[in-house]
């Protein structure tokens, strides 16, 4: 599914790194200004849930592999977007999209930070733990509720 591939790509980018920064520019015609503003902005510190064991392991992996660009608690930085945004809702970016992002990288499309490079140093099992961490953060912060969407945790 195309949406699933996109989510995996986003997760991959988050896990692997932020790639080479590009000149800041607004996407043309792809996103509404509200969506673009939300993804470009560095978010306020998200509310942290009581994480599952899998998500706690994912947090450690996220901090080691993704936080440089995606920030502490996936809140974003000036080098990469927050993942605590509706654009990364599992109905728009599935877990598969995150997997694909890590494995193949992602071309800049919802953000102005440049392309995300693949993250070859993160194993498939580690990606699953990172996805669990991000999804639990998203749930806690109102991106989606309960088990409305199939995710890894």
Inside any domain, residue 150: no
Instruction: State how far the Cα of 93 lies from the Cα of 107, in Å rounded to an integer.
Output: 14
Inside any domain, residue 87: yes
Inside any domain, residue 90: yes
Sequence-ordered strand ranges (E) for the chain:
none
Q: Which domain holds residue 107?
A: 2-140
Inside any domain, residue 47: yes
Q: Which of 58, 54, 56, 35 is nearest to 127 (CA)?
A: 58
What pLDDT does residue 151 have?
80
What pLDDT does residue 44 have?
61
**CATH no. for residue 61?**
1.10.760.10
Q: Give Cβ neighbours of residue 20 (< 8 Å, ≥ 6 apart).
A: 114, 115, 117
Low-confidence ranges of the chain (pLDDT < 50): 1-17, 19-42
pLDDT in tens, 117-144: 999 999 999 999 999 999 999 999 999 9
User: Count of domains in the chain?
Assistant: 1
What pLDDT does residue 8 have?
42
């Amino acid at each position: 599914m195309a949406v699933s591939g996109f989510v995996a790509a986003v997760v991959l980018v988050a896990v692997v790194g932020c790639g080479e920064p590009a000149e800041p520019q607004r996407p043309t015609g792809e996103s509404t200004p509200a969506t673009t503003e939300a993804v470009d902005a560095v978010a306020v510190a998200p509310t942290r849930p009581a994480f599952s064991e899998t998500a706690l392991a994912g947090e450690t992996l996220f901090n080691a592999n993704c936080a440089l660009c995606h920030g502490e608690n996936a809140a974003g930085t000036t080098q990469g977007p927050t993942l605590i945004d509706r654009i990364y809702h599992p109905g728009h970016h599935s877990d598969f999209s995150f997997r694909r992002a890590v494995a193949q990288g992602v071309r800049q499309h919802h953000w102005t930070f440049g392309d995300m490079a693949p993250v070859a140093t993160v194993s498939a099992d580690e990606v699953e733990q990172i996805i669990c961490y991000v999804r639990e953060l998203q749930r806690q912060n109102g991106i989606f509720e309960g088990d409305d969407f199939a995710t890894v945790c």
